[in-house]
Every structure is written in C-alpha cells, then in structure tokens.
Structure 1
Amino acid sequence: MYMVAKEIVEKLLSFADIHIDGHRPWDIQVHDDRLYDRVLSKQSLGLGEAYMESWWDCESLDVLFTKLLDAKLDQKIKTHPQLAFQIFLHRLINHQTRDRSKKSVQHHYDLGNRLFHAMLDPSMNYSCAFWEQATTLEEAQRDKMELICQKLQLAPGMRLLDIGCGWGGLAKYAAQNYGVDVLGITLSIEQKKWIEGHCHNLPVEVHLLDYRDLQGSFDRIVSVGMFEHVGYKNYTKLMHTAFKNLKEDGLFLLHTIGTNATKKAGDPWINKYIFPQGMLPSIAQIGQALEPYFVMEDWHNFGAYYDHTLMAWHQNFNAHWNDLKTQYDETFRRMWNYYLLSCAGLFRSRQIQLWQIVLSKNGVKGGYRCRYTKEACLATSSM
C-alpha cells in the first residue's frame, strides 16, 4: 500500500517539476514514509500537519506552493468521500454564529501581542500592504492606510466606523492625519487593550462588539481584512449592517482577500490551525451580497502585493524567533512558517486576490474619482 501511495504522490509532483528528496530548493525532503498515505487521505490537512510534525521539509516552501498551484494539482487529486461529506456539512451549517465568530477571532488574534508586534510593522497592520512606490514594510503599510483614507475622501469632523479594526493602525492614522472621529469594533480582547494603550490621546473609541449588533450613523465605513471571517451565509448581513449605519452620502470601503472561483468551504488546514471557519469570497458572492444595498464605485485588485507582504512578515518572524521561542515551541514555528509561505505561494500563483471595493448608497453624483498621490502620504507622515 505504501509503494502505491508513494508512486501516486511522485506522479502528481512530477507535473509541477517537484522531486522527492531532490536537491533543488523547492524539492521535498521526506523524513517519514507515512507521509504519502497521509497526503492522499487528508490532502491539504495531511500535508500541513505532516510538515508541522517534521515528516517532511522544503528549503523554499513559498516556491514549492507556487509550483504546486501553477500545476493545478488540486484538480488532479480526486475528492474522497469523507471530504465530500465535510463540504456537504459546511453547506448545511452556518459556522459563523455570534459565539463561533468570537471564538474564531480569539483563536488567532489573541495568540499574544508579542508575536504580532515582532512580525508586523510598527503600526501593527495585519493585512496586505501597498507596495506600488514603497521599499519597506513600514512604508508600504503607511501607503496602504493613506490609499484607504484618500479613497474614502476623509475630511475633518467626519465620523468613521472601522469594522474589525485590528490593532487600530488605520484608526490611529485617520484620526491623526485627517481629523476624523473613529469608532473601531473588534472581537479581540488583546486588540482592544492595544488600541486603548496607543490611541488614548486621539478621538478613537474601540468597542468589543459583533458587527451584527452595531447601531449608529457614520459618514464613512471601512472594513479591512475582516470579511474573510464572516462566512458566505453572512455576506449579505454585513452589507445590510454597513448600509443601515452609513449616511446617505457616505462611502464604504471593503478591503478583503478574494478567490477566483466561488467556494463554500475554506481550506481544512487553514481552518483548523490559523483561521477557524475562515472563508474567502468570490466576485460573484460579493456582488450578490452588495446588490440590494450599494452602487459599486471602484474595484481595485492588488493581490500580487500580498506575496511581498507575507514574505516580509516571514522574515520578521524568523528574525525574532530567538525572542519568541520562550513562548512558542518548535511545532508552532513550523506551523507559522507553513502558513506564511503557503499563503505567499497562493498569491504569487494568482489563485487568490486582494480587493479594495468602494461602495456608495446611491451613486456619487458626477462620478466617483480618486487618484492616489504619494505626495499626500509623505506630507502626512512628516506631520
């Protein structure tokens, strides 16, 4: 049975120019022959768990995953009955109840501020940076925040709602540089504490609140890197929530990872170890959700920049590992590197995207216009 499994895996890998125990950076070094059966039976979950347990290694995981995805090996591995049943259950069950949403967020974002402080830029932005004119992670994240502020056409005195505000980097930037009052909502206790400690002299409030319980009136609404946690059964609910809390002449900017094809289940390994109940929307799913409420003013794709962002996070994480290893073990290190590098491969292969979508209630009279200017970003950063 083992030889049959090994032969199947070797054949599949050959389509991607990947060799078992080869000498190139993207080749796989196998340390436990049980790997082959595990990969065939559990697919992506088995591959990821086997890496965490040191059953195999690869010098350049990001290149490995880029080659695997470019070869479309996932289409060559036929679905097993157990996996089909799991997908069927995903369709029947709404995984994003309020209780599940809170647990999912706390699973990941409450790992500890120390980890994210080591990995992220000083503003603690945990989403795709904008590398168009940037050379460092800090600069690229600042440019991303400036891009969002310019797209939202912020002005002093406006009230800005940040749904899923993270560690408050954007809220702080908008309050400091555009004179807006910001309300951020999060389900993470660690993030709330961080924001309260870093924005105490600014017009920034943060509430532990589920977006479905939100009530207010805002000139502008933004949501960065949160839509991926909503679940497809709740896409329309989030759009309705934004609609009812946005003023008639307001703008809503949605910043989200997206997938090329409509799916109703996330990757099993990512769901189990990184983002429980995480799910990437498609263009069709977003369009269907926003159609009853909004006019689409602008749709911007800069998914290729997420590859650069993830590689920068990977470099930072490993550069600080000697400090982090007192809190996290070797299995966590392998898991985290696998997460960062496999996702980098996904973006590099253009299998998934990063979208910024600007929405209005009634259509901007005369048309929506926004041309990003680096000069404005440089001016605000020097203030």
Structure 2
Amino acid sequence: MDILGGLLTVERSIPSSVLAGLATQEYSLHGGVIRNSAGQIVRHLVNAPGSPIPLDPLGLLSAPFDIFNTYQLHNLKQLSEQILAVSTATMAMSGLTLAVSTASFAVLHSSLKKVDRRLQQVGRDVEWIKRFLDSERHAALMDAAQDLAALPSDPVNRNQILHNHRTKVGQIAMQYLHEWENTQDASLLNSISHQHFYCAAFLLKARCSAELGMFDNALTELTQGKEQWLSNSREIANSKILRGDAVRFLGNEYAENIPTAKLIEWMDFATDSSIGLEHMDELRKQSLSTNRFSWPFRSNQEKFEQQHFVEMMDSLVKRKNVLEGYETQYKFYADNEIIPSELEGELSQLNELAGENNLLVLAPKQDME
C-alpha cells in the first residue's frame, strides 16, 4: 500500500533480500532505519501510531543479553523476528521511539515526565536533584513540551505556538548543555539526567522546525544536537562508567550482565570506533587490577547508580543508534518535503498492518523501482 503520494510503500514484513543484506553486513540497522553502505534508507521500521511504547528514559530496562546487532542467515523467519526484537529493545533502552514521525511532542513530554518520577524516587533530598527539578528551565521545558503535545488544529494558532516554542526550547537546550559541560565532577545519574533533557530539548526544536516546513533547519538542528550529545555522552561513558579500567568487565562477576558482544558495543561507542573484536584483544593484554574499582554505598543515589550502570551505558549506546536513524530520516523528509505529522496521520490508518511488535515496515520509492 502506497502512502504520501507513492513516496513510501507499506509492507507486511521485512523482505528476504533486506534480511540477507543485514546478515551479510551489506546493510546496517540504526534504530528504526535500515541503511545501505552509502547511508541511503533501505527500509523504515516505524512504531504504529497509538501502539504502546515501552520507553525507559534512564535506561533501567535491559534487553535479553543475546540481542545485538549481529545476525546470522540460518532461518529468515527467525532473523526477521530478531531484527524486530533488536529494534524494540533499542527503543525501550534508548528512551526514544524508532522514527521521527512517531517521536511526537506527546511522546517526548511523556519521556520527560518519566525521568522526573525516577529522580523523585531516588530522592528529592539530594541537593542536585532538588535543584534540577525546581529550576526555571525545567519548568519551561515541561510547559513547552505540554503545549506542543496539545497543538490546536487551527493552522494560525498552531504555527504561532510552534514558532514561539521552537525558540524557547532551543534556548533551553543550550542551558542544559552548558550545565552538563560544566559539571565534570557530577555523579553518573546527574550526567545521565542532563543528557536526557538536553536531547529532548534539541529533538523538540528540530521537530518544531520540521512541522513548520523548515526542513533544512530541522536537519541541521538534529545533526548538530546529535554530534554534541555524542561528544558529551562518550565523556560519561569513559569517565563515569569505564573509568579507564574496562578490563575489569572481563571478570567473572560481570560475565552474565556484560557478555562479550555488549562490551564490544560499549567500547566502540566510548572510543568512537568500529573495530569490534579488536577491543577484546587489547583488553586481554591488560592485567586485571588487584585494586579494583568498587562503588561506594553511602546514599540511595550511589546504590541506584551501582545497580543500574549497565542499563545506563546501554541506554547511551542505543540512543546513539536511534539518533543516527533520526538524522537519516530528517534528510529523507527534507529531500521530499515531508511534514512528520502528515506521515503520522497516514500511518494511523494502517495499524492493522503492524505485526506483533507493533512496527510498520516502510519501503522508500527508489528502493521499489
């Protein structure tokens, strides 16, 4: 079934040729986008509008440990199920939906509220949490997200709200980025919270631009935000999780929660590389320290970080994958002048075509020719 005037075709499943391309690494999966080696979109995997979205913004959910972006072409049905499972797990752990079209204002607002609730559970008596939740920029971002989640249908009022909040959330994003970059001695949870609010703010701005038809602006804002987020998030990974002692994760106590495939993903992310198994060769050359790092147990926050640092690291890795997919999608939208909400509106009529994972498979026109 064609949508958007034939720009996209809805398919009931991932074609065998695409599955084979993933298995042979001719194609790669980035959140909700399957790309070829040239970076072109081969397929979109999109959340069916209105379907349950298991977002966990602080990365406190973890996928089954055998779900990774590595595929074997033994059984096409099993391979298809694995790819959909990877996409669903990526969505859950990244705290973001798979597609720009379903990364709606309402979803981003809901994601921010979930972070608030999690921080309140850790403890409002923690000084930085109280300051974080009570700040003017926090209130302004929550108000903007709430307003954008309930846009009126009247085009004049709608565009005025989009213009006003586009400017506001852009300023808020810079404020969160500034504080994030100037709190190098902050706790892991503090840094993770700042990255989430910064990410949500620049995503809101890019979405406002796209809804206003400012396609080039949307792509630029998304790309610049993603690159800044990546740089700072790698700092979190290196200074607050790996801590210059990644070899410790080869110890027996981490074997169940951090298998080799997961550790390789972590190292590729932290080092901005894609050398894969070579990381293991380098780590094995190092000796396990007898003076191993141990997490302190002085407060609820520190206990929380010790219990969930694996999921937080996974969250950063998966969010990178989703943001890479968003960047490709924004370029596709810019090239074809697609308003995300218009695509979302057409997809909402096709929910019956979604599979058990509540995902729709979309093929771009050029791939069908």
TM-score (norm 2): 0.30
TM-score (norm 1): 0.29
The structure with the greater share of residues assigned to strand is: 1
